[in-house]
Amino acid sequence: MFNRKKLKIAILGATSHIAKGLIYNFLQERENKLHLFIREIEKEEEVHRFLISNKSDAADYYTLHKGYNNFFSRSYDVIINCIGVGTISKLQGDYTRYFTVTEEYDNLVINYLKKHPNALYISFSSGAIYGNDFSKPAKDNTVNCIPVNHIPPENYYSIARLNAEAKHRAFKNLNIVDLRLFSYFSRFVDLKDDYFIVEIIKCILNKKTFITDKKNIFRDYMGPKDLFSAIKKCIEVGKINGAFDIVTRKPAGKWEIIKYFASEYGLKYKIIPSLNYTSATGAKNKYYSISKNAKRLGFKPKLTSLETIKEEARYILNKKI
């Protein structure tokens, strides 16, 4: 889409888990100029510490923007929207944020694209768009069945993502790509979060026993290297408007993950058959996709989910143990 000029790339939600991996990789290349936008002004120091601690503090290659008041005063070739609402514990039961936060910043970018139609908008979507029936993996003809007269909270996020993607397809003359991630893990994860892999790592660090049930579940853990590769393919592909499932070479089962950490790091675990898990978006036994539509981008992942977990967890655990 673009020649080899130095691109101006805006990253919205620069403090997020996904954004940190992208920022790190972009600044390692030192080819483009990043405009990093943050919502919470008090997180400015956090961003600076992140850049310095990861040896990415290349001031000539980024500008940090506190708030979005000057978003329209700059020009960008690419806009990457990494804004999310976080885990269920961070939501604290306020599911309205799935809609309000998504719509506010998505509309911000859409309004920019209307004035700058040659710019590329990359929006992070989710496998949750397929609904909450993951008794089998998603594929190209999967249907999202929503009980429209009795919509439960676990459908809210799915509807928010479906609404955003439908809007993007309606703007068919604009360059908008939705990248659907199913699960994501990297060395930049917030260890205060409370999802599966993070809980395992915290148990190892704190020498606690990991508690789980006997059910095996399957997840597709994308990592920063492969995701960065997908982003670059989006930039290279030319005029485009579409949604793509971004997956690894192979998903990972819960038990192969647990056994790896038990063997490699001495994780202790206990099985409680009656244990009940809660999820803001519903239970998902096989939360991954077998769609190959990302081949249209020329994207080919290098790592499996387990390889991603091994590589990224090593940075965290070898540093702290």
Q: How far apart are CA 76 and CA 36, in angstroms?
A: 12
Query: How does the average pLDDT of the chain come out, rounded?
Result: 91
Q: Residue 256 is which amino acid?
A: E
DSSP 252-272: EEHHHHHHHHHHHH--EEEE-
Query: Does pLDDT of 222 surpass 90?
Result: yes
Q: What is the pTM of this model?
A: 0.93
Query: Does pLDDT of 1 surpass 80?
Result: no
Q: Phi, psi at residue 286, to the nearest 5°?
A: -125, 75
Lowest-confidence region among 132-141, 191-200, 276-285 = 276-285
Strand, coil or helix: 18: helix
Query: Does pLDDT of 60 surpass 60?
Result: yes
Higher confidence at residue 100 or residue 2?
100
Return the closest-CA partner of residue 257 out of 308, 202, 302. 308
Cα dihedral value 19, 3, 71, 49, nearest 10: 30
Q: How far apart are CA 39 and CA 266, in angstroms?
A: 39
Q: Exposure pattern of 131-168 as b/e (b: 16+ CB <10 Å)?
A: bbbbeebbeeebebeeeeeeeeebbbbbbbbbbbbeeb
Higher confidence at residue 44 or residue 214?
214
Higher confidence at residue 86 or residue 260?
260
Structural domains of the chain, ranges and CATH numbers in brackets: 84-188+222-249+287-302 (3.40.50.720)
Strand partners, 64: 36
pLDDT of res. 280 = 54
pLDDT of res. 56 = 58
Cα end-to-end span (Å), the chain? 45
